[in-house]
Structure 1
Amino acid sequence: MTTLATPQALHARIRESLRSQILSGHYGQHDKLPSEKQLMESFGVSRITVRHALGALEQEGMIFRIAGKGCYVAKSKPAQTLTRLQGFAEAMHSQGYAACNRVLSLQTLPASETVAQAFGVAVGTPMVELRRLRYLDNLPVSLDISYFTQELGLRLAREDLASRDVFHILENDYGLPLGHADLSIEATLASAEEAQLLDVAPAAPLLALQRMTRGADGAGLELDFIRYRADRFRYQLRVERN
């Protein structure tokens, strides 16, 4: 007895076929994809099935649609290397993306146990918390929550944090050279607040990064808790065998 493929299986097959061709370079950036009619004929499916497949790729950010013209391959997903300590805007500008920030809040709070341990201070020590929503090409890509000592944080409060990277301010304005950062990356699910700010569904997958940046002298400068939209950002790393 022959088992008929479900509509879900059919549009998944189209989606994966197109995704594979995009990732392999068969379709390059800004190349036009086959029309809905061509895909219908190639896969022997209905228009609604094709539109489901294309809609899924559009949600992932792999393609974009121009009304009356069709679907095109989007820019490759922005990436930041793990082998070099860079600010977000610094890394994105080099790839041709326009990055900006929206400052959500900047306030003095008592250090939690995690923050206190990272900076080597007592729990409850006054620290400055900076919350920013970061955008690439006017689309939200990450929610950044950063902590600084009170002295440094109050200095930063006077800066243009909407358009400048903190790293750039520290090194170029304050003469505080960066040394290294310790970081961890894991998968997480969006809370209700994160989902609203990042324009994703509640419990959508996010990339969670925790990073402690220290100066050349080893002093703690910035502790970051960052939530990235997994469909709009990635980290990459080249690993040598020897």
Structure 2
Amino acid sequence: MNNIKKSRPLYFVIKEDIKEKILSGQYKSGDVLPTESSLCEEYKSSRVTIRRAINELIQENVLERGFGMTARVKSTPVPRSLNHLGGLHEELTQAGIMCFSYILNSEIVKADNLLAQKLSLSVDDDLYMIERLRYANSNPLCYQKIYLPVALCPDLDVKKLAKVSLYETIEKDYGLKISYAKQTIHACMANYRIAALLELNDLTCMLKVNRTTYLDTNECIEYSDSYYVSDRYELSMTLNR
């Protein structure tokens, strides 16, 4: 830290120095700041002073609170259009945003009463259950749980979905045509597990997107719940009258 002005409170000088590091690119969008103890050592200050500087930067929307006591540089919201049906991977790629997924879990499960109803299947039909984290420009954006009928996508290469669009895989690898989807969006609070996976405070508000996707044959191909970090995700639409 250079040129500390004694006339200014130390917390203010620290706050301005962190801002300068963000503007210079030393700290990038989504980066997690060093720990409190590391910042105390760097600035030769107390935890109380560091916390005040961090809290003011959070209030100014420069930083955001992460999981536990961590703080990260505020991410630029990821744009998403509601004007057409598309997968997150293909939409972000078209917008020039790097998108990839981390597969948390995948297994074949039996459809219970709820899933059988949602997917228009029989109870105990085989389903792929896939849990994954979605990233935009290396920043965690979304936790997703997906169910797909095994009968429509036999021998699905789940690992491939870490880098490739699910919808593209369905259409290109299986010759199926995705036609439409029914979707609901509502606000909810992150539970502890999702907050930890997305590196959030467990009191963070999220957008829960529930989607049921259909083929041109009216067969249901996907039932999913997606939890988006609300302030990293921006929805837009065009309304005609």
Same fold at TM > 0.5: yes
| 3-state SS of paired residue (2:155) | helix
For residue 50 of structure 1, report the CA deviation from its aligned partner. Answer: 7.3
- What's the CA shift for 1:227? 0.4
Go from structure 1 to structure 2 and tell me whether the alpha carbon gap of 1:239 and 1:76 turns closer, same or farther (over 3 Å shift). Answer: farther
Matches within 5 A, 1:108-127: 108-127=108-127
Gaps of 5+ in 2: 1-28, 30-49, 66-72
Shift of 1:158: 5.5
Q: Distance in 2 between matches of 1:83 and 1:215?
A: 18
Aligned position for 2:232: 232
CA change 1:145–1:153 in 2 (3 A) is: farther
1:54 corresponds to 2:32: no
CA distance in 2, matches of 1:217, 1:81: 25
Is the 8 Å Cα contact of residues 187 and 206 (structure 1) preserved in structure 2?
yes
- Give the residue type in structure 2 aligned to 1:225: D
SS state at 1:155 partner: coil
**Pairs within 5 Å for 1:42-191:** 52-56=55-59, 57-60=61-64, 76-157=76-157, 160-191=160-191
How well do the aligned residues superpose, as a CA RMSD in angstroms? 2.5
Q: Does structure 1 retain, via aligned residues, the 8 Å contact 2:126–2:151? A: no
Q: Which residue does 1:219 correspond to in 2?
A: 219
Of 74-83 and 171-180, deviating more is: 74-83
1:55-77 Cα shifts (integer Å, max 9, x gaps): 3313359xxxxxxxxxx9x7741
Aligned to 1:42: none
2-structure distance, mates of 1:55, 1:234: 20
Quote how far apart the aligned CAs of 1:123 are.
2.9
**Separation in 2 of the partners of 1:192 and 1:48?**
23
Query: In structure 1, how many angstroms separate the alpha carbons of the residues matched to 2:133 and 2:159?
Result: 17
Structure 1 residues 220 and 187: alpha-carbon distance in aligned structure 2, compared to 1, 3 A threshold? same
SS at structure 1 position matched to 2:211: strand
State how many pairs are aligned: 186
Stretches of structure 1 that go unaligned for 5 or more consecutive residues are 1-29, 31-46, 62-71
Aligned twin of 2:45? none
Structure-2 separation of matches of 1:218 and 1:193: 35
- Map of 1:33 onto structure 2: none
**Structure 2 length-normalised TM:** 0.69
Greater RCO (CA < 8 Å, at least 6 residues apart): 2
Q: Tell me, in whole angstroms, the C-alpha distance in 1 between the residues paired with 2:188 and 2:172.
A: 34
Q: Secondary structure at the residue paired with 1:161? A: helix
Indicate how the Cα distance of structure 1 residues 75 and 152 shifts in structure 2: closer, same or farther if over 3 A, else same: same
What letter is aligned with 1:58? V
